[in-house]
Amino acid sequence: MEWGGEYSLDSSNLDCLLSVLPGELEFQQVLGDLDEKIKKNSSSIEQCLKDLQSEVNEICTDEMLQSTTDCLQWLNNCSFSSLRPSSTHHGQLMEFLRTLQSLLKNEQNQEEMILHFLLDLSSQCGVSFPCTPSGTSFELTSSLHAIEDDSTMDVKSLWDDIRLHLRRFLVSRLQSQEETKANALQQQMEFKTQCIQQLLFLYPESEVLMKYQNMQNKLVSDLLQNCVLSSCGETNFDKVVHGYQSSIPTLCTMIKEDLYILSGTIDPSSSLKFINETYLDTITEEITVLLERLCELQFKENALHIVKTNKISKKHRGTVHAVASQECHKKGRNFCLTLYQLKCLSQLIKLFLLMEEKMEELSAEILLVPSFTEKNKNVQGVLKKASGELLIGETRANETSVPPEQLLQVEEPILLNFGWRNAFKDLSSSVAHCITIAIEDFSTKILQHEQKEEFSAAGYAMSLVNNQQMRESCGAVQQEEQPKRIAKFCSDIMEELDTLLPLALACRDDSLQEIRANFVEACSKVATAVLARLEEKSRDVPSKAPLQDLHAALSTAIYVFQHFTTYSNLMRETSKKPLFLVPLQQYQEFINDLQFQVTSYCVRVCATSILQDAESHHWEDYKAFYEGERCSFSVQMWHYFCCALHHDLWTILPPKTAQEILTDVLEQSLAMLSSRYCQACPSYKRTPQIRTDIAAILMSTEVMLWSVCSSVQEFLNPHEDRHLKIYKIHSHCNSMLSVLAILTSPLKNLYETFLKNSDEHLPQDFSNVFYHPLHWLFCIPSPCSSLLKTPSAREMAAKGQLKLLLSQPYCNLNLLLETLLHRDCLLVKILLRSSRNEVLNRDEQSSLLERINNKQPTLIETIFTVLSYCTLSPKSLGIAFETYMEKEQLWSCLYNMTVSSCGESEPEVIRCLKLTLINSVKGIVKQIISLMHSWEATENYGTYQHKQIVPESLLKTVPKEWNYTPREMKRKESGKCFTRLAAQAVSIVISKLPTVIACLPPPIKYFFFLAERKMSRNFAELKKAGLLVWNLIVIICRIFEDGNTAELLTGATLDRWSKEKLSLVRVCLESIMGKLKSGPKQVTQKVIQSIEQQRPNWIESQLLKARKLSTDCASVSEEGAMLEEGGVALGFTEQKINMMVLDICHKPGGSEYLRQIYHIIRLNEEYLKEQLSCENSSEDGVASSQCLPLTLKGREEQPVFNPFQVYRQSCAKVFNQSTITEWNWDWSNLLPSYLGLNQMTFRVLLTHRSLIKILRRTSPNTEPWGTPLVTGRQLELTPFTTTLWAYPSCQFFTQ
């Protein structure tokens, strides 16, 4: 049933913005809502046209309109001056105007009342008051009722005097509003819009805009002059920059206001023309004058310096000065600029670039017009002949048969035109000349200073600084690619170049191209000089400088490469050819060579120094190595070296590069160790040492493996194609484990294992036997097995997930989100459980209050926001907070939610839920208030009712032909009109509810679905519409009940009348939801009955539709959970996690919330590990009274590598000799895993056993099952060699 009748006026505005990608049901609801609004508006427009058609037919009897199409055509072609005027007696008109004039002159504060009265006359009676320019003839005409024009000077002077008085009043209000700035921005814009619309009622548009433009122009000029030229004395670059820094934000706010004001008053082209002439042209003129003055002062200063210099010569002083002055004038008065002056100009240009960008955003947002950059694009218009043939673009450009007057004249659209670049044209040649000198000068000084410091210092270590600048200036660089520490001299140089970069970015015109060309050329020279210095630094390693300098040189080179890549991308908009091509290529080659040099040097150190241990590796010695109670020194030193390398890479290099280098070093060193231990032939006493060494190597590798793997999939299931290096690491470890099993296991167990499977059970094709890469991890005496589940499960334990996250060199957002959602948000539950004591802890109380006062999100608010953003995991929010809500007894708070101010005593979860729901209904509240204002403006209720009443003396003078009825009399007869207004407001709320729920995030909907399960039966019966629908309507009612909240939420101003009517709408909504304790009032019953008469059962169907949308999402989540439990989907795929992280980072504060959670997890690493270890115990037993530290107490310092701390940790965890030597190896389970081992490999390893060697010397007959033994000289060790030894030693060094 279509909505019709008196409730047809509805809005097509879809206020609920789709912040998330909706599901199928939600998408259908949104499209259906849009379609319904379009149909309603089309029917309303058609009804309005029919009403207009009937009214015109009544008035214009000579021209009858047959249809609405004729009505539209008539409106398009009609001339209002041709309408039949109604006669108004000259005496009555004079009396009426004199009464108005007398009231304005003799009575105070009557202007607003008279303006409303005149507007009421015009709208109610159709009287068209003359809107002629000042000083023209007086013409009173009307579209429906025209005043007879007597063309007398008395009438004209009277009306001019009246509207002049009213204009002064309105202009004074506009100026006073500008001076006070006391009101909010929204209220100020509404007030100024009203004033300008009233001025347009009195004067023509051109005159009003000119007057308003003069006002705003004076404000702009005064603002710039007060900010820049406020202080007396000489103007310099400093004053100009600081002045514009303080004035441009204010100017942007003023432009935003005027764009909003004019967008609802005049067309977009006129609005842009107004902005161009009022603001942009004025700013350009002011900066042009200032720069000319600065140029003049600088030129005089340089000329004076030349004169003083030439005074040394006794001859031709005057001639030289005159010639110098003439040459300077001929050359355009070039002069020298210092580096500081160039920086000031660059700062000034940066301000204009930011303002230009802001103007583009505002024009696109408010007026939907193209930006500055689209102005110069070639637009191929569509030309049309008189005969109808189309001429498109350049295809018919050469045809001259069509006369120009027959072509369609296409006007070029008016765009924003900010010509601030023209002000810098006179400076361009001087800036272009001086920028090259300045860049070469400061870069040379910095490099020389760095070289002096190196020679004066005792050591050769490079001075490093933290890279904070890259994170601020080059946001396009991903965090995993950002260097952490760089050379100080390079940071100083790039900081200076960043300061001068806006000079090159401003070059859009040909006159400024020279500046960019010189900047690019100077930067290229600087890049070459820095590269030469870095190459020199890298050659000093290891003879003069430590290995850290190699890492620092690599990190610095990456930093410079990324910086100049960003420069090139920023200047690509104005340059058609690539910039910095040669320097970038040189840096890329240097980075590749240096990364290979770092890797090869570390591997070479391991091969030639660390692992060369004659005492430990004397395998044929018949004496036990330290009585078999420790591993080899070389293995322990290799572990220390890897730990130190890990620290240096993690603290200096970009995370991605650091992981690549550590992976390469670990893989190649393991290949070397695997080859050596496969060739070892230990004596009987040295056999335990082999077992201890390999166990220590595997345990050390397990420690490093968490750092080199960047994802769970890469750790648990490395693929040979995608994760080749990780796959090789596992392969080397499994090879060493096979050496340990066959070479050191008891011969009896070995014999029994292989004898039982030597015949039919042993497969003939051993290459088809599959071994999982993680096999070795579950066979070593390490806590790793508790961090992992079975290899086939493709899932990691929660503690392992946490360890993998904290082992990364940076905050890996994908891994962080995966850890938070792992095992039904187990880690989040621990954080929430620990945060319960946050407020109770006295030490943390002050910091918590500071965060609340500073509007910094707390831990609970941060977790809630992040999980509410996880639209692809709708159950996570409810699962994470379910236990917390129960222990805090917060479920009952959802059944009586209020809209009071969020105080300290209110639970944070309830506050977050409330803010989410309030934001979702903000559009409905704005629409209802807008309806109230439009009703108030149409029917003159509300504000006008409480203003001064029109005097009886003025009402008596109104000509009777106008048929004016005072509003006070109409109001007494229109009591039932409010029923129509209230019904319309209630229908808007009810009709919007399904769309609001469709646009809510799925986690919020599932949270309320979970809360409904916790409700008692009484509540369930009370809230048949659903808890979510109930709370949305309750929040809307509370907003309508408290007018201050409505004003704060929408920025609108509500008078007493509007607040009363909003309160009545609230009563109607409460009556619909059955919340009223007493019976509904008579007015409420009329409102609801009127809606039901128009649409029977419509309210109930809308509420059921809203409930269905809120529960369908939850049922979909339940089905997804059942599928996951059934084994269809285990955990979250990398693609799903990546999509959720991208979605979170695009939400307000999303990435910052994730990093805050990561920071808290890292601060409480040991506590969280302890809690995760007790995850199987009861909640009460696990709960701890510890309060989580949320911030660092002091300043975070750069971590320093402490070898003694590594030694203590290694002794306790990795190299715990008692753990290794006393480990009870389960040979019966370990040995059968090697039944598929290659026969050749098995025989070779078997011959290395000490007992087999003794048997060979005493009885060299056969192996236990009759196969001849293979001697050591016949061994083929190809499977254990690596490509490392195939290279000559000279290839490990770079030139």
pLDDT digits (tens, 9 = 90+) for 756-811: 665 544 444 444 444 678 888 888 766 666 677 654 555 688 889 999 999 999 99
pLDDT surpassing 70 at residue 1187: no
Which residues are registered as beta bridge partners of 103? none
Average pLDDT over residues 74-83: 56
Please work out, in degrees rounded to the nearest 5, the angle formed at the alpha carbon of residue 511 by the alpha carbons of 510 and 513. Answer: 60
CA atoms of 1254 and 1248, how far apart (whole Å): 10
Residue 874: cis peptide before it, omega within 30 degrees of 0 = no
CA atoms of 1185 and 367, how far apart (whole Å): 57
Q: What is the pLDDT of residue 1204?
A: 74
Count Cβ atoms within 10 A of the Cβ of residue 61 and give its class: 0-12 exposed, 13-18 middle, 19 or more buried: exposed
Does residue 834 sit in helix, strand or coil? helix
Write the single-letter amino acid at 795.
E
CA atoms of 24 and 36, how far apart (whole Å): 18
What does DSSP say about strands 485-487 and 464-466: parallel, antiparallel, or unpaired?
Answer: antiparallel
pLDDT surpassing 60 at residue 63: yes
Q: In sequence order, which residues have a C-beta less than 8 Å from that of residue 958 and are 6 or more positions away?
A: 96, 121, 964
Q: What is the pLDDT of residue 295?
A: 80
Which residues are registered as beta bridge partners of 127? 145
Average pLDDT over residues 1104-1114: 81
pLDDT surpassing 70 at residue 1080: no
Average pLDDT over residues 735-744: 89
Q: What is the pLDDT of residue 845?
A: 47
pLDDT tens, position by position, 1143-1172: 999 988 899 999 999 999 999 999 998 888
Is the alpha carbon torsion for 150, 153, 158, 164 positive or negative?
positive
Q: Which of 801, 1139, 1114, 886 is nearest to 1122 (CA)?
A: 1114
pLDDT band at 869; cut points 50, 70, 90: very high
CA atoms of 4 and 25, how far apart (whole Å): 27
CA atoms of 420 and 282, how far apart (whole Å): 10
Q: Are 995 and 921 in contact (CB under 8 A)?
A: no
The more confidently predicted of residues 181 and 428 is: 428
Q: Which of 641, 656, 633, 632 is nearest to 604 (CA)?
A: 641
Q: What is the pLDDT of residue 194?
A: 85
pLDDT band at 401; cut points 50, 70, 90: very low
Q: What is the pLDDT of residue 122?
A: 82
pLDDT band at 1227; cut points 50, 70, 90: confident
pLDDT band at 457; cut points 50, 70, 90: low
pLDDT band at 854; cut points 50, 70, 90: low
DSSP secondary structure string, 693-748? HHHHHHHHHHHHHHHH--SHHHHHS--TTTSHHHHHHHHHHHHHHHHHHHHHS-HH
Strand ranges inside 1111-1190, DSSP E: none
pLDDT surpassing 50 at residue 1000: yes
pLDDT band at 176; cut points 50, 70, 90: confident
Does residue 146 sit in helix, strand or coil? coil
Q: What is the pLDDT of residue 1284?
A: 30
Q: What is the pLDDT of residue 614?
A: 75
- DSSP letter, residue 407: S
Residue showing tokens 């620990």? 834
- In angstroms, the Cα distances linking 47 to 40, 50, 56, 481, 516 are 11, 5, 14, 63, 62
pLDDT surpassing 90 at residue 653: yes
Q: Which stretch of 325-339, 464-478, 903-917, 1229-1243 has the lowest confidence by average pLDDT?
A: 325-339
Q: What is the pLDDT of residue 1014?
A: 81
Q: What is the pLDDT of residue 226?
A: 83
Report CA Rg, the chain.
41
Q: Which of 653, 440, 645 is nearest to 559 (CA)?
A: 653
pLDDT surpassing 80 at residue 154: no
pLDDT surpassing 60 at residue 815: yes
Q: What is the pLDDT of residue 1221?
A: 67
What is the rounded average pLDDT for all residues in the chain? 76
- In angstroms, the Cα distances linking 261 to 116, 171, 190, 970 are 20, 15, 8, 32
DSSP secondary structure string, 591-650? HHHHHHHHHHHHHHHIIIIIT--TTTT-TT-SS-GGGGTS--HHHHHHHHHHHHHHHHHH
CA atoms of 407 and 471, how far apart (whole Å): 55
Q: What is the pLDDT of residue 621?
A: 83
Which residues are registered as beta bridge partners of 384? 390
pLDDT surpassing 70 at residue 123: yes
Q: Are 104 and 111 in contact (CB under 8 A)?
A: yes
pLDDT band at 931; cut points 50, 70, 90: confident
CA atoms of 314 and 912, how far apart (whole Å): 84
pLDDT tens, position by position, 591-605: 999 999 999 999 999
Highest-pLDDT range among 685-699, 1043-1057, 1221-1235, 1248-1262: 685-699
- DSSP letter, residue 485: E
Q: Are 175 and 216 in contact (CB under 8 A)?
A: no
- In angstroms, the Cα distances linking 377 to 60, 276, 372, 373 are 50, 20, 10, 8
Is the alpha carbon torsion for 1105, 1106, 1107, 1112 positive or negative?
positive
Q: Which of 161, 200, 193, 201 is nearest to 174 (CA)?
A: 193
Q: Which two tokens stand for residue 367?
A: 């007026």
Q: How many CA atoms lie within 13 A of 493 on its CB side?
A: 33
Q: Which two tokens stand for residue 901?
A: 């101010």
Count Cβ atoms within 10 A of the Cβ of residue 176 and give its class: 0-12 exposed, 13-18 middle, 19 or more buried: exposed
Q: In sequence order, which residues have a C-beta less than 8 Å from that of residue 357 and are 6 or more positions away?
A: none
Count Cβ atoms within 10 A of the Cβ of residue 689 and give its class: 0-12 exposed, 13-18 middle, 19 or more buried: buried
Average pLDDT over residues 1085-1094: 86
Average pLDDT over residues 480-486: 92
Q: Which stretch of 230-234, 411-415, 715-719, 1115-1119 has the lowest confidence by average pLDDT?
A: 230-234
Residue 1114: CB atoms within 10 Å: 22
Q: Which of 822, 783, 777, 831 is nearest to 802 (CA)?
A: 822
Q: What percent of the chain has pLDDT over 70?
A: 71
pLDDT band at 485; cut points 50, 70, 90: very high
> Distance between terminal CA atoms of the chain?
84
Please work out, in degrees rounded to the nearest 5, the angle formed at the alpha carbon of residue 300 by the alpha carbons of 297 and 304. Answer: 140
The more confidently predicted of residues 539 and 1056 is: 539
Q: What is the pLDDT of residue 1271?
A: 34
Q: Which helix (H) or strand (E) holds 383?
A: strand 382-384
pLDDT band at 8; cut points 50, 70, 90: very low
CA atoms of 537 and 488, how far apart (whole Å): 13
Q: Which stretch of 91-100, 613-622, 822-831, 895-904 has the lowest confidence by average pLDDT?
A: 895-904
- DSSP letter, residue 1146: T
Does residue 889 sit in helix, strand or coil? coil
Average pLDDT over residues 172-184: 65
Q: Which stretch of 155-164, 781-790, 797-806, 927-936 has the lowest confidence by average pLDDT?
A: 781-790
Q: Which stretch of 10-24, 68-82, 892-906, 1237-1251 has the lowest confidence by average pLDDT?
A: 10-24
Q: How many CA atoms lie within 13 A of 320 on its CB side?
A: 14
Residue 66: CB atoms within 10 Å: 9
Q: Are 652 and 462 in contact (CB under 8 A)?
A: no
Does residue 171 sit in helix, strand or coil? helix
The more confidently predicted of residues 298 and 948 is: 298
Highest-pLDDT range among 712-716, 851-855, 947-951: 712-716
Q: What is the pLDDT of residue 732?
A: 94
Phi-psi region of 1057 (alpha: psi -120 to 50; beta: other; left: phi over 0): alpha
pLDDT tens, position by position, 320-346: 344 344 444 434 456 788 899 999 999
Q: Which two tokens stand for residue 648?
A: 């240096």
Task: Quote the pTM value.
Answer: 0.82
pLDDT tens, position by position, 19-50: 555 566 667 777 777 787 788 788 888 888 88
